Structure 1
Amino acid sequence: MHESASCLPRTLKDIVSAGLPDELSGQAGSNRDYDFEPLIPAQTDSQAIAAWLGESPDGSATRRAYEKEVQRLYAWALAYAGKPISSLTRGDMDAYELFMSAPPLHWCAPRYVRRDSAEWRPFEGPVSSDSRRHALRVLKAFFAYLVGVHYLVRNPLGAAQARRGGSSSGPLTQLRYIPRGLLTRLLAALEDECARLKASGEAHLEMERMLMVIRVLANTGLRRGELASAVMGDLYADRDAVTGAEHWFLALNKRERSSEVVAFNPTALAAVFRCLSANGVNPYKVDPRTPLVPKLDCYAVIDEPYSATTEQTIYNIVQKALSIGAKALENTNPNDAHVLRRATPYWFRRTFVTLMTEIGQPLPLINRQLRHASINTTAGYVRAENYELYRAAASLAV
């Protein structure tokens, strides 16, 4: 790649104010998602960049760091690749990584030069390997956001993580979620154990509880502490004003349901009801103080039948379920068994995100379910957004 006739690299502000020809604006980018209307008000790459940066608080260190990395890439894409960001490929990103390791002198300036100065440049000099890895992580998140809001079709850095800057022990060690196929096999192994132990009293109830916890975590993205403190009274049904269907939610703020809720899809609800039924409790007549995840002797204790499950208990339940799954798969699928032995409860939160993305659910809705602090745009939309959120979560049943 060679630098175009355009002179020095420009800032985002300069690019927006001066404008770009149609072929560089991103309106016709080769990686644009034309099958869906974008979920952000963006028809050009500069507008998409502004939407992404707008997800971080103005003036924050995070926003400044993100702006620096995306500004560098944007300037390089226009001047060297000669294409908009929405047309960049994996090969382009490899070329950009190489460029960062040795930017030309006229692209470099001291750190103290202000961005509104004519002396400003994107780089201070060659970028270290650690800083390049950080830059690519930021840009990977940037592209993932644009895919999630249906601005782009593919993430040009989506397959790069295992190859870049990771352990030499291979892609299995890079995995931090459970792929759908493996999750299906894990659940099947737990189902088999439930059937095998059906007449075994407490051992059977323990397996039913394991199966329920795994299903709920995978179908909701809950943190283990949130699941540990949840009681049946936190579950409530509401009627969807669009479809008329009854949907279920879990209130995480017990004082004000509308402030923080997660969609509780039919698979998660059925898992809870099944566990209750296995313990001889009618799910529709259960005491609201009953924990979602009961202690094994919860219903036999007279003095304190409603004591909360601890976060450590949830951790132990998940680890035991993963161990049972690994043992069941070690002969037929040793790689699967290896992944399960490395997994932790937090992986199910990542698994929820990954599987929801794979089935085409938009990133803003997924982030609403996970309640990440950096996503604030839906704070004022509760009921209507909850129904849309429920329909999105209900499409996942694992």
Structure 2
Amino acid sequence: MNLPATTAESPDPVLSIALPAAVDGRDGTNRARGVRLQIAASCDVEAVRVWLAEYAGSPHTLRSYRKEAVRLLLWATQTLGKPLSSLTREDFLVYERFLAAPTGDWADPERPRRGGARRLFDGPLSERSQHQALGIVSNLLSYLVSAGYLAGNPLALRRRTGAAAKRARRVERYLDHALWDHVLASVEQWPRITARDHQHYERSRWLIRLLYHTGLRVSEAANAKAADFYQRRGKWWLYVVGKGGSEGEVPVSTALMAELARYRVFYGLPPTPSGDETVAAILSVTGDPHKNLTPAAVYLIVKEVFRRAADALATSDPVGAATLLRASTHWLRHSAASHQADAGTDLRFIQKNMRHASIQTTGIYLHAEDDRRHSETVREQGEREWPDS
């Protein structure tokens, strides 16, 4: 197993590989025929490159997605001798088994981690990692179907079973109300002695509130403009461009608009954004109003907020502190949906707020019934008289 060398035809750093003509996908058996192609791609690598370009604003996501795309492209062409655009459901059943036990050069510890002869696996993937890898690949295939490049997504037929299905029933990567309140209170204890301290404090408190109140993904928050906040019928909304260029709008509370006003005034801007300004919703670290904070910077700031909050809990609540140390930006999105569900918000509205394609996805944030079942069960057990041993 060797990575194809970068060629003059594939200089793009997003995905700099080239495949032999026989397996490049120009004549793939799953290529869509008779439909209008929405992307300028004639082969599989070009199509995958367009998909990856959608995540250029999110370096962490881009690296993860590129890794899975390269693994699949090379496995299909080198192990099966087929292009990605000819893979069937049966092929993916074989690929699932391969992910659980990659052999030979694919995971050879003697091979380097970088370069054309590098290994692509450190060993068998855990069940969770397998599920994540196949989810990313399914995202790719669905995108190419929507783009008119593929006729269908073989992974759409995949049945979720076992632990993967159980994990989907309830999301666990979120902060309960008490932990979220602690995070907010913790930020208020940050030092504001120097101008730089004060700037970092204002930026951090605005950022976590924006992510929590709107449920934005990292790349969406990083790319947001102040002009994306707008009024309709006296109510504030936030226009969002999400995954795959999908558009949506999120309700914005009066409280969050007050926080936006505070943040803007701190930088000498008018409290309310206008529809024609080019100011970023989250200014760059230098405070330049026309430069957005990068997704990587958003991620690091949120991790710092959680780390500092965890430090403050280390003695009094070690479990809560451990939770905060694991938390990341996406936990704020999960927390937003979970807390909306706890408040009794209609599930259809949460689906629209989170911009989920399926209401089944939104359903994993319903915790209230489990909480009630737990409380009533434990109360009943507590009232029962147990015989002495």
User: Which of 1 and 2 has higher RCO (CA within 8 Å, sep 6+)?
Assistant: 1
TM-score range, shorter chain: 0.3 to 0.5
Instruction: Output the TM-score relative to the length of structure 1.
Output: 0.46
Instruction: Output the TM-score relative to the length of structure 2.
Output: 0.47
